[in-house]
Amino acid sequence: MKTARLTCLRVLLATSPGKGKNSKSLDVALANYLPKLEEARDRALAQRLAYSTLRWLGATEYFSRKLLKKPLKSKDRDIHLLIQIGLVQLWREEIPAHAAVHETAAVARGLGKPWAVSLINGVLRNFQRQRETLVSGLEDSQSKWSSPDWLIKRLQADWPQDWQAILTANTRQAPMWLRVNLNKQSREDYLNLLQKQGITATAGSWSKAAICLQQACPVNHLPGFEQGTVSVQDAAAQLAAEILDPQPGERILDACAAPGSKTCHLLELEPAISELTALDNSSTRLQRVSENLERLELECKIVTGDAANVASWWDGQDYDRILLDAPCSSLGVIRRHPDISWRRQAADIDSVRKLQLKILSSCWKLLKPGGRLLYATCSILPAENQTVITDWLDTVADARAISLKVDWGQTAGDGRQILPGRGDDGADGDGFFYCLLEKTAI
């Protein structure tokens, strides 16, 4: 039995927080299960439902509690998730009610749990009858944010004026941003090309190469994608290479480089870089870097190694500039990866913060005097961002933060913080933090 809803269920079970270290990311789970569906429309539906269910998991949990007479046993987690898949179809998706109820309930029979068919049918039908009351009750509940309690409390403490906007943004689908390879075509010309193809898009206000599509589309529908004219990259992420500002003849390190979007952007910005090293501790993820470089007809040195243990791979030659896209909680990109909300735990923040400090100290040793290092994360938590920089600067004598004279984001300690969602200038980027550091003479 291979249906879109069954595949969606298997994806959600694979990403379940209860699986601990065996839990897969949504991207990995989708890559594992979608190819098993023969029809493109089934793959599209399974992916769409997986994203939507994870975005609204907290809200549909609230509905489930109200509709079930008693909680299901842990061994029936699959049935509970099926109910949530059905609820999100009836509540958030434009899917005919009959199909949402009938097709979702039928999956239980294929799981060898025919007793659950009538249960799922009953719960979903009751939601239809009680929808107005249930949705009204949700609005009066913290469950409306569809986020774990620890995250809501953390954001309330860290962003007392913005936490509601952040949580609202997390439940919305992120726009599709493109980065034009300005070595091959101007942004204006590419916008005209998109218009001729019937694709509506606008120029971004933050990055000189950024274009935002009005509606997302498969990359093979983008003119010139296979020829390297354009790449997919969020507007906020595109700022990294521009801030680092590579110069001709320089030796540059992109630490924690995979999947390589920022690596490629650096090479596009400055083709005359003397040497660029793309470093990552995962050879599998570095394969993505190689694929992106090949498509864009770019070259760099690819090294498998640990940025926190430079002795195992470093050749002893200092770098002029270093991009450190540090490991983080990724809480700034939840709207692109809704599983992050449910796979992260409060305790993760302290452990990743320690790793960030270790990597920052290790990479700093590789930088020439007068060289610059850009510390970047896709997190919105000060504990991973400005606090890391402040604490680290207290331990070194040869570093200073350089103020970023920009009109995006907001001041956050010695750096700049972008929050996810639409900004005052109309831009709609992911949550990112940037801090530019310079090595001074002691």
- C-alpha span between 312 and 321 (Å, rounded): 20
Q: How many CA atoms lie within 13 A of 416 on its CB side?
A: 18
- Which of the residues 8, 328, 378, 435 is marked catalytic? 378
176 neighbors 211 (Cβ within 8 angstroms): no
307 neighbors 362 (Cβ within 8 angstroms): yes
Our CA dihedral for 46, 52, 53, 56, rounded to 10 degrees, sits at: 180
- In the annotation, is 363 catalytic? no
Query: DSSP H helical segments within 140-205, as ranges?
Result: 149-158, 163-170, 187-196
- C-alpha span between 422 and 429 (Å, rounded): 7
Report which secondary-structure segment, H or E, holds 88.
Answer: helix 77-91
Q: Which of 267, 274, 244 is nearest to 179 (CA)?
A: 267
Q: How many CA atoms lie within 13 A of 195 on its CB side?
A: 8
433 neighbors 379 (Cβ within 8 angstroms): yes
Secondary structure (3-state) at 6: helix
Q: Which of 364, 355, 407 is nearest to 383 (CA)?
A: 355
Our CA dihedral for 362, 366, 371, 374, rounded to 10 degrees, sits at: -40
Q: Per DSSP, what are the bridge partners of residue 418?
A: 432
Residue with tokens 């009351």: 133
Query: DSSP H helical segments within 140-278, as ranges?
Result: 149-158, 163-170, 187-196, 239-244, 261-269
Report which secondary-structure segment, H or E, holds 425.
Answer: none
The residues annotated as belonging to the active site are: 378
